[in-house]
């Protein structure tokens, strides 16, 4: 990529080169004519050899001088260009640096320095407007996410609390209790979906920006430990092979969400008494579990595409996994090999 002023510099140089080149024959003709005039005035007649020699001398001198001046121009242009670009474009570069450091998340306006160059003033004003708009939209979206959460969570908690009160009735029959329990179950699922949708929105809105250095090996190990009761319920063996000391940069909460969802999927979607393997190497995490049919990789990571009636999840787990991976430019890949679903995250 070329700098803007270098583009014009090249054209200036080509133009001056052409002008100087054109000036060589003009000078030659003019000097020759003067020379001839002087010679004839003083009645000097040269031999043809001397005449040719003079011509060569004139051409040589003129060319040399032109080249010299061209070099002078070249040097001058380059130096001037450098100075002008530094001074003239300074407001532009300052604005650029500010925009580069802009973080929508901080919701802070950019204090552009006033400039007396009309174009830059206009540019800064337009940028200001654009950024204001972005900040407003972002704040609105965030507010919507917050409000949606509030509006939905409150009625949900009312229903849940009423059902729980109903459980306290003295005269419940077994089947009535079962009905309530089933309703509570479905309600918890709605709450879960709501929570995950909000989480997705928040991640897409680039919230959770705090980053830290995380000991992934330790975190995976802790996560696996937490899931042991659930895998034991299904008599599944968790085979881990974790390379110690693997570290990543990221938001702890997001990475926990990633790991929890990967583990939940593996345990939930594999048959009882089948092994689940978790391999962490320096650059990837691979979780594999048994499965009878390959999944549709093109639909897999879309929202609600995987929600099935047999395994009542939220249908958002894999979307969450992908969003977290997108955030850190990691890759999550699905493969089906040898009767096993394999999810690998490369970081």
Partner 1 sequence: MKILIIEDEQALAQSIGTYLSDTNYLCEFAATFGEAMEKVEVYEYDCILLDLMLPGGDGFKVLEELKAMKKQEGVIIISAKNSIEDKIKGLEMGADDYMAKPFHLSELGARIYSVIRRKYFGNVNIVEQNELKIDLLAKAVSVNNREVPLTKKEFGLLLYFISNKNRVISKSALAEHISGDIADMFDNYDFVYAHIKNLKKKLTEAGCENHLKTLYGTGYKWEI
Question: Which residues contact partner 1 (rule: CB under 8 A)?
Answer: 146, 149-150, 153-154, 156-162, 164-165, 167-168, 172, 174, 177-178, 181, 184-185, 187-188, 191-192, 195, 226-227, 229-230, 232-234, 253, 260-261, 264, 267-268, 312-313, 317
CB of 193 to partner 1, least distance (A): 11
- Residue 288: CB minimum distance to partner 1, A: 19
- Please give the structure tokens belonging to residue 335: 């493969």
What span, in angstroms and rounded, lies between the C-alpha atoms of 283 and 13?
51
- CA–chain centroid gap for 293, Å, is 35
Q: How far is the CB of 253 from partner 1 (least distance, A)?
A: 7
Q: Which is nearer to partner 1, 117 or 159 (CB)?
A: 159
CA–CA distance, 108 with 39 (Å, rounded to integer)? 81
> By three-state DSSP, how is residue 90 classified?
helix
What is the rounded CA–CA span in Å between residue 141 and residue 80? 49
What does the chain come to in residues? 347
By beta-carbon proximity to partner 1, the closer residue of 124 and 261 is 261
Q: Compute the least distance from the CB of residue 312 to partner 1, in Å.
A: 6
Give 144 or 177: the residue with its C-beta nearer to partner 1: 177
Q: Taking every pair of C-alpha atoms in the chain, what is the biggest distance, in angstroms?
A: 142
Rounded to whole angstroms, how far apart are CA atoms 277 and 40? 105
CB closer to partner 1 out of 192 and 346: 192
Contact assessment for residue 3 and residue 82, using Cβ atoms and an 8 Å cutoff: no
CB of 295 to partner 1, least distance (A): 19
Q: Nearest approach, Cβ of 318 to partner 1 (angstroms)?
A: 13
Cβ closest to partner 1, residue 184 vs residue 300: 184
Nearer to partner 1 by Cβ, of 74 and 190: the residue is: 190
77 forms bridges with which residues in the sheet? none
Residues contacting residue 99 through CB under 8 Å, at least 6 positions apart: 110, 127
Nearer to partner 1, 24 or 104 (CB): 104
The whole-angstrom separation of Cα 24 and Cα 68 is 12
> How many CA atoms are closer than 13 Å to the CA of 135, on its beta-carbon side?
13
CB of 174 to partner 1, least distance (A): 5
Of 124 and 251, CB closest to partner 1: 251
Rg, the chain, Cα only: 38
Q: What is the token pair recorded at 4?
A: 């803007």
34-50 core/surface letters (b: 16 or more CB in 10 A; e: else): eeeeeeeeeeeeeeeee
Quote the Cα angle for 94-97-100, to 5°: 150
**Nearest residue to 342 (alpha-carbon basis) of 259, 274, 276:** 276
Distance of closest approach, residue 248 Cβ to partner 1, in angstroms: 20
CB of 172 to partner 1, least distance (A): 7
Residue (208 or 330) nearer to partner 1, CB = 208
């Amino acid at each position: 990529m070329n700098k803007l002023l270098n583009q014009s510099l090249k054209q200036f140089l080509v133009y001056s080169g052409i002008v100087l080149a054109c000036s060589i024959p003009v000078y030659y003709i003019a000097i020759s004519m003067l020379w001839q005039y002087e010679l004839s005035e003083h009645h000097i007649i040269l031999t043809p050899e001397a005449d040719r020699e003079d011509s060569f001398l004139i051409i040589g001198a003129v060319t040399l001088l032109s080249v010299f001046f061209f070099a002078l121009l070249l040097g001058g242009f380059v130096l001037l260009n450098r100075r002008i670009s530094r001074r003239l474009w300074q407001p532009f570069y300052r604005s650029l640096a500010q925009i580069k450091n802009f973080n929508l998340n901080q919701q802070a306006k950019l204090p552009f320095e006033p400039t007396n160059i009309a174009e830059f003033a206009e540019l800064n004003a337009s940028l200001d407007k654009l950024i204001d708009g972005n900040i407003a939209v972002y704040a609105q979206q965030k507010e919507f996410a917050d409000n949606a959460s509030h509006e939905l969570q409150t009625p949900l908690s009312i229903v849940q609390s009423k059902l729980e009160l109903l459980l306290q009735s003295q005269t419940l029959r077994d089947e009535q209790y079962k009905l309530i329990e089933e309703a509570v179950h479905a309600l918890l699922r709605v709450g879960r979906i709501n929570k995950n949708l909000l989480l997705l929105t928040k991640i897409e809105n680039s919230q959770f920006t705090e980053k830290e250095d995380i000991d992934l090996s330790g975190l995976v190990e802790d996560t696996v430990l937490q899931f042991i009761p659930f895998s034991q319920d299904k008599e599944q063996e968790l085979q881990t092979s974790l390379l110690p000391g693997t570290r990543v940069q990221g938001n702890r909460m997001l990475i926990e969400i990633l790991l929890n969802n990967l583990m939940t999927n593996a345990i939930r979607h594999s048959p009882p008494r089948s092994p689940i393997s978790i391999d962490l190497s320096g650059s990837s995490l691979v979780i594999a579990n048994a499965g009878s049919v390959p999944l549709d990789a093109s639909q897999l990571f879309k929202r609600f595409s995987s929600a099935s009636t047999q395994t009542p999840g939220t249908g958002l787990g894999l979307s969450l996994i992908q969003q977290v991976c997108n955030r850190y430019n990691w890759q999550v890949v699905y493969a089906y090999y040898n009767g096993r679903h394999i999810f690998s995250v490369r970081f």
